[in-house]
Chains A and B, each alone.
Chain A
Amino acid sequence: MTPSKTDQANAQAQAREWPLWEVFVRAKAGLDHKHCGSLHAPDPTMALQMAREVYTRRQEGVSVWVVRSDQIIASDPADKAMLFDPMEDKVYRHPTFYELPPEVGHM
């Protein structure tokens, strides 16, 4: 199938748009980087610079990661039950499953 006029126009428009990046910020030393949003930038250097301007205007972080959005592999929400529900009945994986005499104290 040949691409339609709108498809071509969309592809052209997309080629002019700066790509999308996901931004992760470490709030302070000792904490994980946490996803905080996304932005458009032409290249990695600009993406970092803009992440600083857009997401850390009030000292929200000490370190920033930027990742091209199209490089992220995500699970499909439709697979949520298949992926995560099987863990629901495995209560023995949690410490609270085991009843110990109080004399044992903290364990």
Chain B
Amino acid sequence: MYTQAMDTAPKEERLVVRSVDDAVAEERFEAALDRDEFIEAKDWMPEHYRKTLVRQISQHAHSEIVGMLPEGNWISRAPTLKRKAILLAKVQDEAGHGLYLYAAGETLGTSRDQMLDALHAGKAKYSSIFNYPTLTWADVGVIGWLVDGAAIMNQLPLCRCSYAPYARAMVRICREESFHQRQGYESLLTMMTKGTEAQRAMVQDATNRWWWPSLMMFGPPDDQSPNTAQSMRWGIKRISNDDLRQKFVDATAQQAKILGVTLPDPDLKWNEARGRHDFGPIDWSEFWRVVNGEGPCNKERLAERVDAWNDGEWVREAALAHARKRTGDQRAAA
């Protein structure tokens, strides 16, 4: 999951003119948030809260769907039947996660087709991490370890998101996600401990390529995340980008040691005084380049999604026509 994109969205105008009813309703809404209560789909909510959620949830859903592409490339090339079955299950999970999230987004009054249209038109973002290529089989393992690891770190706090349908979807997703990270790490561990020299080099190379993009998944630094304060206030975000990133570095440094790979950062070292790891500066110009469409695979990924949608159109229509024929209703399947 990838909340990073919401920080890259334009800051929206707050509604200035409000009716008395709205003012009362907003007071109740704020009071509910103060009591750490959930907001349900049919409850009153400020328009800006609704829009922020639609943007975040749909971007999150798009990330799950686009996220199938880099790994899907390797299903037919998995080295063993066991790894193939695991990868199939994982990619199927990502599809499921996308569907849970689109359904959560739809409770806010935007249809799935509208969200998909925004993706296909290039108006909606998805996590920049999926715009990097998967060059070797080790990339699949590293995606599980680092990319899904970062995603889990990002997603866990969202299980307590104030918007209940989103929080419920996240609980389900998080429960399924830990298998994704563990299978990746185990696959790498197998290559590192039982593999050849070439396989170990392949794991190191994949780690080198995915490390920095994984750190970027947490989004821009806190002082460059204009929407963070509002999202924290609304209980849509619980932990800041930099805090999550630090947590991830601390957890991962130890895992890298056990695995026997180095992380490609000469400044990465334990800071006894802070009780945390220090790490080197992130190249944010690369992050913005990829977010804004200039990553290695942006065009390819989006084109593949659009093709899949267009190629599936006749199936969607035929299924609907069949349903109408069965019910004798010519108007709609409804």
What residues make up the interface of A, taking CB atoms closer than 8 Å to B?
13-20, 36-40, 42-43, 46, 53-54, 57-58, 70, 74, 76-77
Give the residues in chain B near A36, CB-CB below 8 Å: 172
Give the total number of A-B pairs whose CB atoms are below 8 A apart.
65
Question: Secondary structure of the A side of the interface?
Answer: mixed
Residue of A40, A53, A77 touching B112 (CB-CB under 8 A): A40
Give the residues in chain B near A57, CB-CB below 8 Å: 89, 92-93, 96, 176
Task: Enumerate 16 A-B pairs (CB-CB under 8 Å) in ascending A order.
Answer: A13-B113, A13-B114, A15-B332, A16-B320, A17-B112, A18-B333, A39-B103, A40-B112, A42-B319, A42-B320, A43-B327, A43-B333, A53-B96, A57-B89, A57-B92, A76-B42
Residues of B in contact, count (CB < 8 Å) = 32
Give the residues in chain A near B333, CB-CB below 8 Å: 18-19, 42-43
Tell me the complex Cα distance, A38–B96, Å.
Answer: 11
Q: Which residue of A lies closest to B107 (CB)?
A: A38
- B14 in contact (CB, < 8 A): no
Tell me the complex Cα distance, A19–B111, Å.
Answer: 11
* CB-CB contacts below 8 Å: B157-202 with A: 168-169, 172, 176
Tell me the complex Cα distance, A101–B96, Å.
Answer: 56
Tell me the complex Cα distance, A53–B100, Å.
Answer: 12
Residue pair A43, B99 in contact (C-beta under 8 Å): no
What residues make up the interface of B, taking CB atoms closer than 8 Å to A?
40, 42-44, 89, 92-93, 96, 99-100, 103, 106, 111-114, 168-169, 172, 176, 316-317, 319-320, 322-323, 326-327, 331-334
Tell me the complex Cα distance, A17–B116, Å.
Answer: 12
Give the residues in chain A near B106, CB-CB below 8 Å: 20, 38
Known contacts A57-B92, A77-B42; decide if A43 and B103 are in contact (CB<8 Å).
no
Whole-angstrom distance between the Cβ of A42 and the nearest chain B Cβ: 4
Whole-angstrom distance between the Cβ of A37 and the nearest chain B Cβ: 6
Question: Secondary structure of the B side of the interface?
Answer: helix
Whole-angstrom distance between the Cβ of A27 and the nearest chain B Cβ: 13
Residue pair A42, B92 in contact (C-beta under 8 Å): no
Residue pair A18, B320 in contact (C-beta under 8 Å): yes
Q: Which residue of A lies closest to B43 (CB)?
A: A77
Lowest 4 CB-CB distances: which A-B pairs, in order? A43-B323, A42-B319, A42-B323, A38-B103
Residue pair B326, A43 in contact (C-beta under 8 Å): yes
Give the residues in chain A near B320, CB-CB below 8 Å: 16, 18, 42
Whole-angstrom distance between the Cβ of B174 and the nearest chain A Cβ: 14
Residue pair B103, A37 in contact (C-beta under 8 Å): yes
Residue pair B42, A74 in contact (C-beta under 8 Å): yes
Residue of A14, A58, A74, A76 touching B176 (CB-CB under 8 A): A58
Tell me the complex Cα distance, A19–B169, Å.
Answer: 20
Residue pair B169, A37 in contact (C-beta under 8 Å): yes
Tell me the complex Cα distance, A25–B317, Å.
Answer: 28
Give the residues in chain B near A13, CB-CB below 8 Å: 111, 113-114
Residue of B42, B169, B322 touching A42 (CB-CB under 8 A): B322
Residue pair A16, B316 in contact (C-beta under 8 Å): yes
Whole-angstrom distance between the Cβ of A31 and the nearest chain B Cβ: 18
Tell me the complex Cα distance, A76–B168, Å.
Answer: 21
Give the residues in chain B near A74, CB-CB below 8 Å: 42
Residue pair A43, B319 in contact (C-beta under 8 Å): yes
